[in-house]
Amino acid sequence: MAYTEEELKKELETKEYEYGFYTDIESDTFPVGLNEEIVIAISKKKEEPEWMTQWRLEAFKAWKQMEEPEWANVKYKKPDFQAISYYSAPNSKPKYNSLDEVDPELLDTFKRLGISLDEQKKLAGVAVDIVMDSVSVATTFKKTLAEKGIIFCSISEAIKEHPELVKKYIGTVVPQKDNFYAALNSAVFSDGSFCYIPKGVRCPMELSTYFRINQAGTGQFERTLVIADEGSYVSYLEGCTAPSRDENQLHAAVVELIALDDAEIKYSTVQNWFPGDKEGKGGVFNFVTKRGICHKNSKISWTQVETGSAVTWKYPSCILKGDNSIGEFYSIAVTNNYQQADTGTKMIHLGKNTRSTIISKGISAGKSQNSYRGLVQVNSRAENARNFSQCDSLLMGNECGAHTFPYIEVKNKTAQIEHEATTSKIGEDQIFYCNQRGIDTEKAIALIVNGFSKEVLNKLPMEFAVEAQKLLEISLEGSVG
């Protein structure tokens, strides 16, 4: 054979991480370590009001008393929290009115990421609030949004411009003391996005944020707050890539969604943090707390495509507080080489006639471990709650693992809970079948994986679905054998 499977594998393994590059932009970085002074300094640096500083300090006090959780099905060397710098911002400060004013090097980075703002602007009316190492450097489409009364800005800006909204909602879904990483985030969050959709407004475009870690050795602590007021609708997209790096990078974000009566929030994520090299060296630790609360007749839908990170710990959840509210979770989690993912969701049914749907697709390749962990909880007053869960696992090769940990707690006898699970393997027969039709092995795997993930990919907004399909292909390269 001209091209044996072994050769193919080797060639693919030598491919560098596509987005593994580092942008040399002058940065303003804090000394390493964490204490009260650092927390206060972050708050001061961001010109925050006193209440915010106090809020951070409360979180920090709580965090000091907490222990890093160990229950997840992942193994890793715990980060040294005193060896991290908690603040890093690109120096090119003033905000830009046009792209011409932006640092060319930064623009080049965007280009390499395939997200040139020019293109983005033209693309189906997507407004992009780009978080480059913590500080927003570009915000577009603000005017159009402002006409509808929609606020879409960085959280720092929101704290200054809309303190009443931030104060009212921050920490209401994910309290400061919720968990170890949420507490840490609450104390030191550097920036993130804020979005408010007024009553009865349907956001006319997909809101999109690209996150990116860029400064060597800085943790990234993003804070996102999305509020959909009564009867409003918003579709929010979050996507990220990160540069290649030897040491582990910690990412501990908090996302809070609030869907007031009759509102709908659709939150989609494509996550592609650096997963480490093929020996499992380096890579991002992604310990994220994402949670939404649904008031009466409202709906929150989480869709995620997780392909990156060395270690992922993430459970986008819905608290179905209001009667007739709906929670959805659609997930594709891909692990390759030495990646580990422990991801899933929690659906907490509190209101009457609440419904939830969970579709989880786990794909494991290489020596990776992929776990689904999901909780469906029906409280005593949640009459007629409904849940449907489906967890499918796809294995490639003989050295990876797929695990499912479903938790079901039902305290109301009118509840109806369904759980389905399957495990399958990509067979040599499937690959040969594709080969025989002229489709090479790499393309064949992409085809099979995309087929397996179709139900979730279909939930993504069009332009994101295309990107997600490409990501699936990239992250499974070299997994044949």
Strands 340-349 and 311-314: parallel
Q: Could you count the other beta carbons within 10 Å of the beta carbon of residue 100? A: 8
Q: How far is the CB of 476 from another protein (least distance, A)?
A: 15
Scanning 24-32, 94-102, 253-261, 430-438 for contacts with another protein by CB under 8 A, the matching segment is 430-438
Q: How far is the CB of 373 from another protein (least distance, A)?
A: 24
Q: What angle do CA 118, 119, 120 make, to 5 degrees?
A: 95
What residue type is 343 in one-letter code?
A: T
Q: How far is the CB of 280 from another protein (least distance, A)?
A: 29
CA distance 330 to 266: 11
341 touches another protein by CB under 8 A: no
104 touches another protein by CB under 8 A: no
Of the candidate residues 31, 77, 436, 462, the single one contacting another protein (CB under 8 A): 436
Of the candidate residues 10, 54, 427, 466, the single one contacting another protein (CB under 8 A): 427
80 touches another protein by CB under 8 A: no
CA distance 334 to 396: 11
10 touches another protein by CB under 8 A: no
Scanning 40-48, 282-290, 310-318, 440-448 for contacts with another protein by CB under 8 A, the matching segment is 440-448
Q: Could you count the other beta carbons within 10 Å of the beta carbon of residue 302? A: 26
Scanning 101-109, 220-228, 326-334, 434-442 for contacts with another protein by CB under 8 A, the matching segment is 434-442
Contact residues for 443 (Cβ-Cβ < 8 A; gap 6+): 434
Q: Could you count the other beta carbons within 10 Å of the beta carbon of residue 51? A: 12
Of the candidate residues 1, 24, 71, 164, the single one contacting another protein (CB under 8 A): 1
Binding mask 447-476 for another protein (x = CB under 8 A): xx-xxxxxx---------------------
Q: How far is the CB of 239 from another protein (least distance, A)?
A: 23
For residue 144, what are the CA distances in angstroms to 99, 386, 428, 459? Answer: 18, 39, 52, 26
Of the candidate residues 425, 435, 469, 470, the single one contacting another protein (CB under 8 A): 435
**Which segments within 252-354 are labelled E, that is strand?**
254-259, 264-272, 284-294, 299-306, 311-314, 317-320, 326-335, 340-349
The residue (of 4 and 65) whose beta carbon lies closer to another protein is 4
Whether 446 and 473 have beta carbons less than 8 Å apart is answered as yes
Of the candidate residues 75, 77, 413, 437, the single one contacting another protein (CB under 8 A): 437
**Closest C-alpha to 74, from 331, 344, 292, 271:** 344
Q: Binding residues for another protein, per CB under 8 A?
A: 1-5, 427-430, 432-441, 443, 447-448, 450-455
